[in-house]
């Protein structure tokens, strides 16, 4: 009997779940091939031959189309076939492999509270699933998980698909000339339970919270005269399967997430298709100088925390401590006291029961309380739920870098009258010293944020606040939905085994995900009515990236090389160009954002620094043609790109964080039976290919700050390519942030890592260089300041045994591009090579106890500090809200 006849005889197999699926001999061959590979005999021909033998045996044992074998039957026969054919070593490898798979399956089912694994659980690795289980999967009143990862991604995709469905030509009229009975639609909000799982698109059923979003989306469009049909007619179209084409869109969004190519910010995955329904990560509130306004902002903040968001507030409009309050003849307590109120509210209101909210507290450099504000957080236990930043404008910068005396006037928020004069140099020194000690405050450059702010004209005010991690500037009551594309997934393997980046697939992914995030604005359940209005007026989205470091590893390009910077620049330009182009396409079909005509867009201005500041011949795309399209059709979203923190998202997508370099290539996890090492997957593969993978090498790397630098056994090319955050000079961290910032509309979440032996003067020089490069903000983290993460992430024995130098790219920039003599002298002094004698060079890191507030509130493991944000590498807890 030939093989085709045999295969035809066995048509199906019974899976562990009891489901029956088509029989496929290739799966047997692949399993045997993996066992062969484990014994260094990766022979595809032999695997196929042995698979044929397995199929013959199955038939001999009476399995036919009417007697279906189980997975276990087949695996038993694979074992006996391998032993009978004299391949006992391969049989052993297969048995071990089978045992490990069973153990892994059992562990996954336990983590997810499942009796059988769903398709996503089979595909995702255990760590990804642990993060999903701890933070994203719905639970019942007893805190038991009640949905599978597949169901989670489906509920998100269905909600996003509803966004598309409502713009179908059968129901949507862009001109706004249709009048419908909005009250009829709203009446359905009173009977949501009756419509739970009643309507569907294709095979995708709408639960009652999906149905609520459908109603609200309809009401918004009907109020603008854009619904051609009544709500009942819409439901009739759904029931008659007239809108089933949108099942394809839902599948597209589902596949984007399940393939780990793209993930939206955390609140979207937590709340889409659920009661809270709040999908945004970032919010900004105003804080005016009146008790009623202060209490309104406090109450709004509480509602945002409850719904899963984080809040940024600029407190500079509050009068300084000690100023007279006319209404009571009392004395003002100052902005820091009101920050304490918000801090307490954050503590009390858990986000959707899952975590505490995050805050950004900002005071501008001219405020009389700025010095108190700067030093406030150097004490432990103060404003623990806040990131704090000092906002600076042109006047402060001018006093700092262009005047001989550095005199700078602090003014009253009440009437802008001078209160006292200080020295700008002393103030920046105070900020630098505080950041050197405690990683805070950060600096926000409001002059840079507003340089190309096309929206200021419509709002008649500059941007003055950011979200908690600083990458998203917003006006009061605006929100932003973020999402990140996993760049390491977008590679093509060449015939010779090397990889190249797939630019075509990148463009397609940018277009799909821009649409995804635009839909989120429409189907979002906003926590406060004013946020609903402001968010839809600007339709701001923040499409970003993750996996940059892993992508560069795969392409064998050093992060901090000329080639590395050029690739990152093109990735950034491509992201904004295609997302803006897609936003124009959406404007053509759905309409521009409501305030578009009042902005500088009709004048041909765009919010992209690189367009103005990089020479035209270096641009990769036809920006002028895009600007002409915007002038003709408008644009759907006021801004489209942001590089946000992706701490938890990267764990789910199994890639490196944001555009950060890898934190450590190997780090230690101490378990009762001894040392256990986590290794970057790409580096692990390369070490194996070069016969370097063993416990001794892993221990050496872990004890070397998680770096390959200076380890004799590691070839130089590997040391150059596989760089970590601590291998890269702080000036190169700034430069990398700068090449992304050139083309990103909003801003970038990035930690500027500094070794423990830098001085406060170096921190100050980093500020000067950051502003010069055009960054919108900067967060420095000196290893050994208050977060002790590097020590605990790599190894308890970690020592710094190597110095890092700025790249030629940076030194060339400083030499050729910086013209201000003060900035140039300061930066040059900081970049000059510091000569260490051997004794200092190999000085071990300080051992200190980890403060309780540096432990994960969920699982009590150590928090690590990346992208300006604390995250837990065990359970995925994040101190930020976006990811």
471: annotated active-site residue: yes
Q: How far is residue 749's CA from residue 734's CA, in Å, rounded to a whole number?
A: 12
Helix (H, G, I), strand (E, B) or coil at 295: helix
Q: Is 451 exposed, middle or buried (0-12, 13-18, 19+ CB in 10 A)?
A: middle
Say if CB 442 and CB 387 are below 8 A apart: yes
Dihedrals phi, psi of 553, to nearest 5 degrees: -60, -45
- Distance separating alpha carbons of residues 649 and 504, to the nearest angstrom: 24
Cα distances from 361 to residues 291, 336, 787, in angstroms, run 18, 9, 19
Instruction: Point out the catalytic residue in the list 359, 467, 560, 637.
Output: 467
Q: How many angstroms separate the CA atoms of 92 and 79, rounded? A: 8
What's the half-sphere exposure (Cβ side, CA atoms, 13 Å) at 862?
22
Separation in Å, CA 773 to CA 740, 767, 778: 11, 10, 11
Element (DSSP H or E) covering residue 872: strand 869-872
Instruction: Identify the sign of the CA torsion 725, 731, 736, 740.
Output: positive
* DSSP characters over 716-756: HHHHHHS-BGGGS-HHHHHHHHHHHHTT-SS-B--EEEE-T
Q: Which of 282, 469, 856, 872 is catalytic?
A: 469
Give the Å distances, CA to CA, from 384 to 356, 579, 672, 791.
11, 36, 33, 22
E-assigned strands of 240-297? 262-264, 282-285
Say which of 147, 320, 364, 471 is annotated catalytic: 471
| Contact (Cβ atoms closer than 8 angstroms) between residue 514 and residue 583 | yes
**Residue of 422, 441, 429 whose CA lies nearest to 383:** 441
Give me the phi and psi of 672, to 5 degrees please: -60, -30
Instruction: Calculate ∠ Cα 624-626-630, nearest 5°.
Output: 115
End-to-end CA distance of the chain: 57
What phi and psi values does residue 369 have, to the nearest 5 degrees? Answer: -95, 10
* Cβ 666 vs Cβ 680: under 8 Å: yes
Q: Tokens at residue 684, please?
A: 């692990």
Q: Which residues are catalytic?
A: 467, 469, 471
């Amino acid at each position: 009997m030939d093989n085709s006849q045999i295969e035809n005889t066995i048509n199906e197999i019974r899976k562990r779940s009891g489901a029956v699926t088509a029989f496929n001999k290739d799966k047997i061959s692949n399993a045997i091939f993996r066992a062969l590979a484990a014994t260094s005999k990766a022979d595809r021909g032999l695997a196929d031959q042995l698979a044929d033998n397995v199929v013959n045996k199955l038939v001999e044992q009476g399995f036919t189309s009417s007697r279906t074998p189980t997975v276990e039957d087949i695996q038993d026969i694979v074992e006996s076939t391998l032993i009978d054919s004299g391949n006992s070593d391969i049989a052993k490898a297969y048995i071990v492999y089978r045992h490990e798979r069973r153990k892994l399956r059992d562990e996954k089912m336990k983590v997810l509270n499942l009796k059988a694994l769903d398709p996503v659980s089979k595909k995702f690795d255990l760590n990804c699933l642990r993060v999903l289980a701890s933070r994203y999967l719905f639970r019942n009143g007893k805190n038991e998980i009640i949905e599978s990862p597949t169901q989670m991604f489906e509920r998100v995709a269905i909600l996003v698909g509803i966004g598309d469905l409502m713009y179908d030509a059968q129901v949507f009229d862009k001109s706004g000339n249709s009048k419908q009975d909005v009250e009829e639609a709203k009446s359905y909000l009173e009977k949501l339970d009756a419509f739970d799982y009643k309507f569907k698109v294709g095979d995708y059923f709408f639960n009652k919270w999906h149905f609520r979003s459908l109603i609200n989306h309809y009401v918004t469009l009907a109020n603008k005269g854009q619904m051609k049909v009544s709500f009942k007619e819409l439901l009739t179209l759904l029931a008659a399967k007239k809108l089933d084409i949108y099942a394809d869109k839902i599948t597209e969004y589902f596949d984007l997430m399940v393939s780990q190519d793209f993930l939206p910010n955390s609140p979207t995955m937590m709340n889409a298709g659920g009661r809270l329904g709040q999908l945004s990560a970032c919010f900004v509130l105003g804080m005016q100088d009146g008790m009623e306004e202060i209490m309104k902002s406090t109450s709004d903040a509480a509602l945002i925390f409850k719904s899963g968001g984080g809040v940024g507030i600029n407190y500079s409009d509050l009068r300084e401590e000690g100023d007279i309050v006319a209404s009571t003849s009392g004395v003002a307590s100052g902005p820091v006291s009101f920050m304490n109120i918000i801090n307490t509210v954050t503590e009390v209101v858990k986000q959707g029961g899952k975590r505490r909210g995050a805050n950004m507290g900002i005071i501008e450099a001219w405020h009389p309380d700025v010095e108190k504000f700067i030093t406030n957080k150097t004490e432990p236990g103060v404003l623990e739920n806040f990131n704090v930043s000092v906002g600076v404008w042109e006047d402060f910068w001018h006093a700092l870098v262009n005047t001989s005396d550095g005199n700078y006037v602090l003014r009253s928020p009440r009437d802008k009258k001078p209160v006292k004069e200080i020295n700008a140099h002393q103030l920046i020194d105070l900020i630098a010293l505080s950041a050197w000690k405690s990683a805070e405050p950060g600096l926000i450059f409001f002059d840079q944020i507003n340089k190309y702010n096309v929206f200021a004209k419509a709002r008649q005010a500059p941007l003055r606040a950011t979200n908690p991690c600083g990458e998203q500037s917003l006006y009061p009551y605006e929100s932003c939905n973020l999402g990140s594309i996993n760049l390491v997934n977008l590679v093509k393997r060449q015939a010779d085994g090397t990889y190249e980046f797939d630019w075509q697939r990148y463009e397609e992914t940018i277009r799909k995900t821009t649409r995804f995030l635009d839909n989120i604005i429409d189907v979002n359940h906003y926590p406060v009515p004013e946020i609903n209005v402001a968010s839809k007026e600007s339709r701001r989205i923040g499409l970003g990236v993750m996996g940059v470091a892993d992508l560069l590893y795969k392409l064998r390009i050093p992060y901090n090389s000329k080639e590395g910077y050029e690739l990152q620049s093109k990735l950034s330009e491509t992201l904004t160009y295609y997302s803006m182009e897609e936003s124009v396409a959406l404007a053509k079909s759905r309409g521009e954002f409501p305030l578009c005509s009042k902005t500088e867009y009709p004048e041909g201005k765009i919010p992209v620094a690189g367009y103005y500041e990089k020479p035209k011949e270096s641009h990769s795309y036809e920006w002028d043609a895009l600007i002409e399209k915007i002038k003709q059709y408008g644009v759907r979203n006021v801004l489209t790109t942001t590089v946000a923190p992706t701490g938890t998202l990267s764990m789910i997508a199994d890639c490196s964080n944001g555009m950060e370099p890898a934190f450590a290539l190997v780090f230690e996890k101490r378990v009762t039976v001894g040392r256990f090492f986590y290794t970057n997957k790409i580096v692990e593969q390369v070490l194996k290919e070069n016969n370097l993978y063993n416990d001794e090498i892993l221990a050496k790397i872990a004890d070397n700050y998680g770096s390959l630098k200076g380890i004799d056994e590691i070839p130089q090319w590997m040391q150059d390519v596989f760089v970590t955050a601590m291998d890269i000079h702080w000036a190169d961290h700034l430069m990398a942030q700068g090449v992304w910032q050139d083309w990103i509309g909003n801003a970038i979440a990035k930690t500027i890592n500094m070794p423990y032996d830098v001085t406060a003067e170096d921190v100050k020089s980093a500020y000067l260089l950051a502003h010069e490069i055009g960054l919108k903000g900067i967060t420095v983290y000196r290893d050994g300041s208050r977060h002790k993460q590097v020590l605990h992430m790599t190894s308890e024995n970690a020592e710094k045994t190597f110095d890092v130098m700025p790249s030629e790219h940076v030194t060339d920039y400083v030499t050729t591009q910086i013209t201000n003599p003060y900035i140039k002298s300061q930066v040059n002094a900081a970049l000059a090579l510091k000569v260490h004698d051997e004794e200092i060079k190999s000085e071990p890191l300080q051992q200190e106890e980890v403060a309780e507030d540096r432990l994960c509130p969920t699982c009590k493991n150590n928090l690590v500090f990346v992208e300006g944000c604390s995250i837990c590498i065990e359970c995925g807890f994040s101190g930020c809200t976006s990811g």
